[in-house]
Chains A and B, each alone.
Chain A
């Protein structure tokens, strides 16, 4: 896969940059150019916003049958997290023991390796989550 496919998303995957609708103040992650609530009203009013990465677990699962890129990590925990600014996001929760995560667990984002292209290819980085210390 071409490197551009990954680096064009880096602002969001590295820095958790989303968008806020200037018309209704709803925050979106990943960034959107159009607010699904305001639609036409939002054109030209979607402003960049950096998110805190703090949130709570809405649901989670321990993945035993994982994707090939994550096969060394099984079982790994995936979760849907509601960030304090409002948007929900899908991410991996790391540095946890099985059973440690519950619905409602507070988490925060960390910067981690997501994967790499083959043995000596480009390494991709982005957010994962850990329980709030």
Chain B
């Protein structure tokens, strides 16, 4: 296995991007990453694209060669692969690309993630999101994705005394972080009352407990660590990746208040990197819902099970506190363009480790973890990145 570096990153703004098409977004992110790496098209060996549902969102199958073609690779006959793992599509695209470079099959690889969600109505989007859980035994009976996370939240509140204020404090923190991120969908800080008084989605989760629907794309460029200095003075190293799965339907899992896929994926990632949860200064975790962030910071080992809500309320996950969680604004404020989300996490972590995150910079960021989840937790992928220079 070769060590692997991230040598370039780029992303579009996340949000309701009515004037931009799917291919516009994918290409913008890819170009920015290539510019950032100072690399030319002739250097690229392959492309991996995370995308959840272009087939249902924009009626387009086979999107990997589409993005490759419009990125100018049509003449080059570049191999490209679409990776689908629901909301973890981007994270899994990154891990597949990482393995392809680590193994020696490819040298320089583009990892993209792109999703265009605004071309369908909210109702269609809700159906598509619900189908990332078990369509035949959850969604068909009326379960939305939000309702399944709401049942996790209800149980977490029942078992550990987690409060609605604690859930709301996730949104308050992430909106504050998002206010310092020029790519974020929401760049305004909110007061806790705004979150607490918001309309219900599936109780106890209200509008501010749920990440928005978003358009957006992100890209990173990987190469073997030994070649990284050829391209950049500030390469970031992928220290490890760990993936785990679980039962497809939430009701088949032994617990509603933890995600075993997160626990197992992070155990692998910590082991391969030779570190523990106390060795990372920051993390981008999958806050598709407020309860997902609270469960994630427990399952990743940052806080004891049941204490995640209290820790967030007490500011222990705020910027430059005990551990800085979702400095980008997270899925809640930066936005959640499904297939782009996991790649966007890698963009944020790379900027942080290079010291280029502006007002939201974490001091002395040496190592960071990124955590991406598909469905209600049937896929989880964790990467640990480190400052390489």
Q: Smallest CB-CB separation from A104: which chain B residue?
A: B158
Q: Which of A22-36 contact B (CB under 8 A)?
A: 30, 36
Nearest residue in A to B126 (C-beta to C-beta)? Answer: A67
Q: Which of B197-205, B266-274, B325-333, B334-342 contacts A (4 or more CB under 8 A)?
A: B197-205
Chain B residues touching A, majority SS: helix
- CB of B118 within 8 Å of the partner chain: no
Which of A60, A76, A115, A126 lies in contact with B154, CB distance below 8 A? Answer: A60
Q: Which residues of A contact B155 (CB under 8 A)?
A: 58-59, 103
Q: With A and B bound together, what is the CA distance between A70 and B251 in angstroms?
A: 21
Q: With A and B bound together, what is the CA distance between A89 and B251 in angstroms?
A: 6
- In the complex, how many angstroms separate the beta carbon of A129 from the nearest chain B beta carbon? 10
Cβ B142 vs Cβ A63 within 8 A? yes
CB < 8 Å: which of A68, A78, A126 contacts B123? A68
Given A9-B136, A65-B126, A76 and B142 contact (CB-CB distance below 8 Å): yes
**At the interface, yes or no: B365 with Cβ under 8 Å from chain A?**
no
Tell whether A91 is near chain B: CB-to-CB under 8 Å: yes
Which residues 107-142 of B sit at the A interface, judged by CB distance below 8 A? 123-124, 126-127, 130, 136-142
1/0 per residue A46-82: CB within 8 Å of B? 0000000000001111111111111101011011100
B136 touches A30 (CB 8 A): yes
Q: Give every chain B residue within 8 A of A63 (Cβ-Cβ).
A: 142, 144, 146-147, 150, 202
Q: Is the CB of B200 within 8 A of A90?
A: no
Query: Is A114 engaged at the interface, CB distance under 8 Å to the other chain?
Result: yes
**Closest CB in chain B relative to A60 CB, distance in Å:** 7
Alpha-carbon distance A17/B146, docked complex (angstroms): 28
Q: Which residue of chain B lies nearest to A82 when distances are taken between CB atoms in the complex?
A: B251
Q: Fill in one digit per residue for A91-106: 1 if any B CB lies within 8 Å of its CB, else 0.
A: 1100000000001000
B143 an interface residue at 8 Å Cβ cutoff?
Answer: yes
Q: Is A80 a contact of B142 with CB atoms below 8 Å?
A: no
Q: Is B63 an interface residue (CB 8 A)?
A: no
Chain A residue, CB-CB nearest to B152: A59
With A65-B126, A67-B126 already in contact, the answer to whether A80 and B202 are too (CB < 8 A) is no
* Bound-complex Cα distance A92 to B152 (A): 16
With a cutoff of 8 Å between Cβ atoms, the chain A residues found around residue B142 in the complex are 63, 66-67, 69-70, 73, 76, 78, 92
Q: Interface residue tally of chain B, by bracket? A: 35 or more
A94 vs B138: C-alpha distance in the bound complex, in angstroms? 16
Given contacts A62-B203, A80-B250, contact A114 B140 (CB under 8 A): yes
Contact digits for B189-208, partner A, Cβ 8 Å, 1 yes 0 no: 00000000001111111000
Q: Is A88 located at the chain interface by the 8 A CB criterion? A: yes
CA A69 – CA B201 in complex, angstroms?
Answer: 16
List which B196-228 residues lie within 8 A (CB) of chain A: 199-205
**Closest residue of B by beta carbon distance from A127:** B141
Instruction: Assess the B154–A59 pair: CB atoms within 8 A.
Output: yes
Known: A58-B155, A90-B137. A65 touches B202 (CB 8 A): yes
Additional 9 contacts, C-beta under 8 A, given A62-B203, A67-B142: A58-B155, A62-B202, A64-B199, A65-B144, A65-B200, A78-B141, A78-B147, A92-B142, A103-B155
Name A residues whose Cβ lies closer than 8 Å to a Cβ of B. Answer: 9, 30, 36, 58-71, 73, 75-76, 78-80, 87-92, 103, 114-115, 124, 126, 128
**Which residues from chain B sit less than 8 Å from chain A, CB to CB?**
123-124, 126-127, 130, 136-144, 146-148, 150-152, 154-155, 158, 199-205, 247, 249-252, 256
Instruction: List the 6 closest pairs (A to B, CB-CB), nearest first.
Output: A61-B150, A59-B151, A88-B251, A68-B123, A64-B200, A59-B155
